[in-house]
Amino acid sequence: MFIKLATKSLINRKGSVLLTLLAMTVSIFVLLGVEHIRHQAKESFANTVSGVDLIVGARTGNLNLLLYSVFRIGSPTNNISWESYEAIAADRNVEWTIPISLGDSHKGYRVMGTTQDYFEYFSYGQQHKLTFESGAPFQSVYDAVLGYEVAKKLDYQLGDELTLAHGIASTSFSRHDDRPFKVVGILAPTGTPVDQTVHVSLQGIEAIHVGWQQGVKLPGRTLTAEQAAQLELTPKSITAFMVGLKSRIVTFRVQSQINKYPHEPLLAILPGVALSELWQMMGLLENTLRLISVLVLVAALLGMSAMLLASIRERDHEIQLLRTVGAPPMFLFLLIELEALIISFLSIVLSTSTLYLCLITLEELLIAQFGLHIKTSILSENSVLLVAIIVGATFVAAAIPSLSAYRKASAV
Amino acid sequence: MDINLRDVKFAYPDAPEKTVLDIDQWSVSEAERVFVQGASGGGKSTLLNLLSGMISSTQGEISVLGERLDKMNRRQRDQFRANHIGYVFQQFNLIPYLDALDNILLASHFSKLKNGVALREEGKTLLTTLNISPSDWNKPTRSLSIGQQQRVAIARALINKPELLIADEPTSSLDQHNRDNFMSILMSLIDEHNITLVLVSHDASLSTHFNRVEVLNDINQMEVNRCSSSSPRKV
């Protein structure tokens, strides 16, 4: 009867209730959406690399090195020499290294030159190794392994051929079209930038640049693909490399050794530290977004409170009547609270389902445009807590009209 | 005695020096039908609110159905009212957006009798007795005529099987025809269930239905001091 009374009373004032419901829905949508994307983005970033103790590149900012080596965002400032790489890789504390060579692209997807160690040692998320959806790591010079998204978006199968473009723009004019690569492997989805990467061997990167100087093809100096493959293809330089150490204890010592490397200015960073630096930088933006969404919710709650308070003024007779049939003033208090909670509950249901629909629709876009992998499942500890807070805040905001009803009920 | 007031005084808390009701002694016996005639402003609502326990007296003894209302706290009075007293107002007797049946069931919600299905049946029986056709049972009561609304109000007041029914100008918003109709149904139900009735109205023509007629000004000493009084009559 209690719930029926509250529901019918709300239906009776459907105009103002509906508007309040919409305001609440929008605000909860914003709050949950911001929180979800924030949370997921953080997770997505944090999951991008794991098990890598150090990342080494040319001397630049910590973040810059992290961004271009792991996230394929931005451009490397400088390369490091192959000799330096070999010297550090030979250190007795180093267990493995993954060299990375960037700078080419295929239809907007970045191409990364590396070695087979990449498939063996690189891990993401909770120490997941890369696995193959089909095929195997590259063996020969013109083999390519595609990230899951690349293969899916461009519809490549094993055995397909593709040509790389010089530079990272999707409309590059300088193409390495004389030396096509063959797809030999497609990686399983990882939810990291790996999915958007074309992997080739370092030798492959060298081979397509034979006969190039200063980033342009020199006419008359090009070799055929076969001739190029026969050459000594040891790279002269690479963009960066990842380091796995035998023991974590020596991380800082090795880092400082690399940073003081006498023959070339190098920078070694700890991915975790650089990531948290990234978050610190994003922290202000994040908190601003959060604050705005909280304020929007507060505004909606106050609006609801005002709507209920105005309704109480029209409900004098109802209150009097309920008192006459024996309803204690507390009943009136709870009745108004219940009305508020019903509105809040409906708004939560509406906004979560809208958010869910939006995420499903935007999932592809977010991956394609920002490389952001957002899980569509909104249900998390965080969101449950948020919903609980919203319900609590509703109760508090509705206490104003509820108390007014209580006082009115006590007076008759 | 169903109602017994002794030395009752009431003043509103915000004007404690101004006594609005002052009753030396007033009582109603079981199954008596009492008509109290009085215009508004004569302490009418105050008297009825005291009897139903909506408000408590500033001083004095109020016993209703053998219970001392002045000794109860508000919660006990609310509970007592829900269980034992039916109440009919001049208007606004029903929640406008609930249907007739739900209005009746709402009244039973606060009383001690809460046996859903049987209660529903009883509500339907009452509505039938009160000449409300079944097609009107599930309409929001705001769409019923005033005459129908007042009759549903009787059903609402009687659903908890009260021993005492208090009616405050129940016919004042009705026309002649509806008024007679209302009074005859009310009286037959009162007889049938052996309920004590206290009805207050300014309309002296209603007094024909009653075996005891009182004038509010005679009961309320405060009014005696202010206005000229007529002597109590027995019909």
B115 lies within 8 A of chain A by CB: no
pLDDT at A220: 57
State both tokens at A77: 């400032």
Closest approach of B70 to chain A, Cα-based (Å)? 17
Q: Which of B18, B83, B67 is nearest to B46 (CA)?
A: B18
Q: Which of A188, A176, A186, A103 is nearest to A144 (CA)?
A: A186
Find the largest Cα–Cα distance for chain B: 54
* Phi, psi (degrees; rounded to nearest 5) at A166: -80, 135
Helix intervals (H) in A173-215: 202-209
The residues in B 154-213 lying below 8 A from A, measured between CB atoms, are: 156
pLDDT at A232: 67
* Phi, psi (degrees; rounded to nearest 5) at A100: -130, 135
CA gyration radius, chain B:
18
With an 8 Å Cβ cutoff, are A324 and B54 in contact? yes
With an 8 Å Cβ cutoff, are A12 and B96 in contact? yes
Report d(CA A132, CA A291) in Å as an integer: 43
* Residue A407 near residue B49 (C-beta atoms within 8 A): no
Q: Which residues contact A103 (CB under 8 A, 6 or more apart)?
A: A76, A111, A166, A167, A168, A205, A239
* Residue A339 near residue A9 (C-beta atoms within 8 A): yes
With an 8 Å Cβ cutoff, are B110 and A11 in contact? no
* Residue B207 near residue B173 (C-beta atoms within 8 A): no
- Higher pLDDT residue, A173 or A208? A208
Could you read off the pLDDT of B61-118 as tens digits, one per residue?
999 998 999 999 989 999 999 999 999 988 888 999 999 999 998 888 888 766 667 8
Predicted confidence (pLDDT) at residue A42 exceeds the cutoff of 90: no
Most confident by average pLDDT, A16-30, A106-120, A222-236: A16-30
Q: Which residues in chain A have Cβ-Cβ distances shorter than 8 Å to B104? A: none
Question: Quick one: CA dihedral B177, B183, B189, B191, positive or negative?
Answer: negative
Q: Which of B85, B33, B66, B39 is nearest to B209 (CA)?
A: B33
Could you read off the pLDDT of B115-136 as tens digits, one per residue?
667 888 888 999 998 989 999 9
pLDDT at A231: 64
**H, E, C per residue of B128-180:** HHCCCCHHHCCCEHHHCCHHHHHHHHHHHHHCCCCCEEEEECCCCCCCHHHHH
Report d(CA A31, CA A294) in Å as an integer: 7
Predicted confidence (pLDDT) at residue A118 exceeds the cutoff of 50: yes
Report CA-CA distances (Å) from B27 to B1, B24, B65, B214. 7, 10, 11, 11
Give residue for tokens 């209730």.
Answer: A17
* Residue B86 near residue B80 (C-beta atoms within 8 A): no
Predicted confidence (pLDDT) at residue B217 exceeds the cutoff of 90: no
State both tokens at A103: 């700078």
pLDDT at B232: 43
Tell me which residue in B81, B95, B105 faces A326 most closely, judged by beta carbons. B81
State both tokens at B128: 């039938």
Report which secondary-structure segment, H or E, holds A117. helix A117-121
Report CA-CA distances (Å) from A169 to A107, A111, A166, A204. 8, 11, 8, 20
Tell me which residue in B79, B87, B102 faces A324 most closely, judged by beta carbons. B87
Average pLDDT over residues A287-293: 90
Report d(CA A5, CA A321) in Å as an integer: 13
- Least confident range of A119-133, A183-197, A202-216: A202-216
Q: Which residues contact A142 (CB under 8 A, 6 or more apart)?
A: A179, A180, A181, A182, A204, A207, A225, A229
Predicted confidence (pLDDT) at residue B235 exceeds the cutoff of 60: no
Q: Which residues in chain B have Cβ-Cβ distances shorter than 8 Å to A12? A: 96-97
* Residue B186 near residue B150 (C-beta atoms within 8 A): no
Give residue for tokens 């400032």.
Answer: A77
pTM for this entry: 0.76
Tell me which residue in B74, B82, B92 faces A321 most closely, judged by beta carbons. B92
With an 8 Å Cβ cutoff, are B110 and A321 in contact? no
- Categorize the per-residue pLDDT at A307 as very low, low, confident or very high, splitting at 50, 70 and 90: very high
ipTM summary value: 0.86
Residue of A nearest to B108 (CA): A325
